[in-house]
Structure 1
């Protein structure tokens, strides 16, 4: 029989570890530049870094201290300033934001009180406290904002502010370029993952016909072939909306790329370098991914196909938490957590491949799918509609798998991300698929 006290201590330790990991990353992202870079808006697509910092603290205060613990507000007058739905990103620099020193102090004060709360919390009684969900939700929220802050660092002009070791070179992948995923039912989503968010729920059975999917994400070299073949100048490969978008904005390559003679260069966190041919392509929008797939005689996988490739274990006829099984991600499984500042070469992490032999489904690059962001059958918004429900519809496309900028707490086989099909500043790539019987 499981000891409830032991379970509580395990949950407390997990919550403490994930909250501490997230705060260390937030501190790194907001301490590696001077205050003027924190208060500046480096792109209208993103908030000033100092807004993210105080917003992280405000969300933590509202959910853990006020909602879970029932305590009085520390700074109620700033709630509206840091309400993401009240103020679009482009408007946030004009708000009376807390200056960097004050924002740091506020976030630190909230965290100190939260750690005291964590020591006395019983992980049962309400849906928010069950299995420490509220603490997990806040850790995921902070890591998601850490990823957006890393995007801001990529958009920022100026010298390099962040460094990290490169991934290890990958041995040449000698296996097949695509993998057959057998047809039949599988269980999509989850009803048991304790920190899964509302859009991942509930678990339900999906029937998926057999299909082929790329063994690895599409590489820079493969994408350059599309460019050199005139892919951006041939209307045949583009949806009507995609063609209009790339024409209107004069898009001819992934974001941050530029041609230098016969080679392509890219800017990555303040450094200009030759585009590495064996890395998964990065910073492409859904329209670009879809056009490449058409040019290659293939298509983007649906969300259900992607998840089946990532979670289905045909030997056990079950859905796993991750492609490699149920164990939490380790460094040998995937490129996660800003451990590196780039994707690993295609074919990396053989210990993280799925039972069918598909690699790098978790980490490296977010992968665009063909699917609109829609609720699962039986979906219930929790704990608030603004996390998922307000985004459902054909305006947003689903991305899966996470990227090198995603922490493991905010990435699993069921995790769903979404964005507009025009978005390119995100750490997005893709892989392609084809139906059985297609050439």
Structure 2
């Protein structure tokens, strides 16, 4: 098979899987469930579907081919920069399920035909992948929408609670030591190079060299058991563990929580992670539409940056900087072979990581040994987005890419998270991928690991 045909085959497979997963996430909901209660952290599922299809129109059909939109009168409604977040819940503005599915299928059929029948330049491959990856970001947000509003788990999720297991004898836990040195960070290329094999978003480029002092970083994510000790020690009520930003977050009363099936303003400061409760003499965690006993060895999930930071202060630890995180995950050195994942360059498989909305961060923090990094850190890809202490800024030499708002709107006031989560698509993630979240976010699949103090 020649290179051009291989590209087409790969793109068609990526497109088909993306289409299948999106359709399943929408059509597995009842009509009444598509009208989710308003929440500032999620979008209505039908709007997510229409918005993703619109992205293909703008960045493939309009930009590459000069084609007109399927329905120009609907463009402003699907464009996230032309409709306020709260207005996306106005059902009178948007078509219903049948019409939205028709639009979605029309766009995907046209995309498949374009990939199959038209020449695929490097630029075309890049833009097609860009649109597919954008859609996969919305697949992740459709998953956390279900968690936020208490809907059933996504199709294909295996939430059978794992049998209690002993910590493997060969697993030492604790910290690994990363030596001082010069390390390569990021992906190659810039906005004028249409990467096809090593696709990367603009904020991952250009690749550059950094010098770091040696540091010690935990081999595992912080577990529910570890975090519960902080909670039970009154960590949320002790201001000495919270920065000024954290104390402000604690006292804000305008957050939202799910109460008896409705989103209502949070009436008191949090005393534990968002989806925990103390019930019947034990900690429980809400997993989609069910409350289950908290799994002690599973990673703590759905915590804000402020909660992670306070835990570190309590534990006498710190969060890693994002360069430290990437070095611990990939260990790329100047002149050496570049690896995209902690385990090498083999694409993520279920043995490596918890991704694709499969196990939903319910497995122990010592699981997935095949995904270990060169230094022995575990689950650095998948499971949870890991908070770092770094603000989200561009690398030196940054150039805005095809989609001008991919990164620029988040620079400055967002924190960097790394590694992907249990809800992230495995085809999207790599060790250089940078996610940006406001430090107050705890509705997404966020967790953390810690570093020793200098």
Please give the TM-score of this superposition, normalised by the length of structure 2.
0.90
Q: Which residue of 1 aligns with 2:194?
A: none
Quote the Cα distance in structure 2 between the aligned partners of 1:39 and 1:338. Answer: 22
Verify: 1:86 aligned to 2:82, yes or no.
yes
- Of 83, 102, 106, the match for 1:105: 102
Q: 1:360 matched to which residue of 2?
A: 379
Question: For 2:70, which of 74, 81, 88 is the aligned residue?
Answer: 74
- Aligned equivalents of 2:107, 2:285: Cα separation in 1: 40
Q: C-alpha separation between the residues in 1 aligned to 2:60 and 2:389?
A: 36
CA distance in structure 2 between the partners assigned to 1:296 and 1:219 by the alignment:
13
Determine the structure 2 residue equivalent to 1:417: 435
How far apart are 1:66 and its partner, in Å? 1.6
Who is 2:115 aligned against?
Answer: 118
Which string of whole-angstrom CA distances, capped at 9 and with x for unpartnered residues, describes residues 130-165 of structure 1?
xx1112111111111011111111122456665622
| Equivalent residues of 1:300, 1:368 under 8 A apart | yes
Residues in 2 aligned to 1:223 and 1:214: alpha-carbon distance in whole angstroms? 14
- Once superposed, what is the RMSD of the aligned Cα atoms? 2.0
Which whole-Å CA distance do the structure 2 matches of 1:121 and 1:217 have between them? 46
* Equivalent in the alignment of 1:200: 204
* Residue 434 (structure 1) shift: 2.1
Structure 2 partner of 1:164? 157
Contact in 2 for aligned 1:398/1:418 (Cα 8 Å): yes
Distance 1:51 1:39 in 2: 10
1:253 aligned residue: 272
Q: How far apart, in 1, do the equivalents of 2:377 and 2:199 lie?
A: 26
What displacement does 1:93 show? 0.9
- Deviation (angstroms), 1:344: 2.3
Contact 1:81 1:97 in 2 (8 A): yes
Closer/same/farther in 2, CA of residues 315 and 75 from structure 1, 3 Å limit = closer
Query: Residue 218 of structure 2: which of 192, 198, 214 is its match?
Result: 214
The structure-2 alpha-carbon separation of the partners of 1:414 and 1:243, relative to structure 1 and needing over 3 Å to count, comes to same
Distance 2:333 2:207 in 1: 18
For the structure 1 residues 269 and 162, does the alpha-carbon distance in structure 2 shift closer, same or farther, using more than 3 Å as the test? Answer: farther
- Residue in structure 2 matched with residue 309 of structure 1 by the alignment: 328
Once the 2 structures are TM-superposed, how far is the Cα of residue 331 of structure 1 from its aligned partner? 1.5
Corresponding residue for residue 404 of structure 1: 422
1:416–1:313: structure 2 CA closer, same or farther, 3 Å change rule? closer
TM-score (norm 1): 0.93
Match of 1:244 in 2: 248
Which residue in 1 is equivalent to 2:264? none
Cα distance in 2 for residues equivalent to 1:161 and 1:330: 19
- Aligned equivalents of 1:300, 1:88: Cα separation in 2: 34
Report the Cα offset of residue 120 of structure 1.
2.7
1:55 paired residue number: 51
- What is the total number of aligned residue pairs between the two structures? 427
The structural deviation recorded for 1:91 is 2.3
Match of 1:10 among 6, 10, 20: 6
- After superposition, the C-alpha distances for 1:187-231 in whole angstroms (9 at most, x for unaligned) are 100016532111111100011111111101100000001101111
Classify 1:165/1:216 alpha carbon distance in 2 versus 1 (closer, same or farther; 3 Å).
same
CA drift at 1:171: 5.4
Query: Contact 1:217 / 1:430 at 8 angstroms: preserved in 2?
Result: yes
Report SS of the residue matched to 2:229: helix
The one of 136, 149, 156 aligned to 2:142:
149
Q: Is the 8 A contact 1:160 1:271 kept in 2?
A: no
Compared CA separation, residues 432 and 111, structure 1 to 2 (3 A): same
Q: Offset at 1:7?
A: 1.5
1:43 aligns with 2:62: no
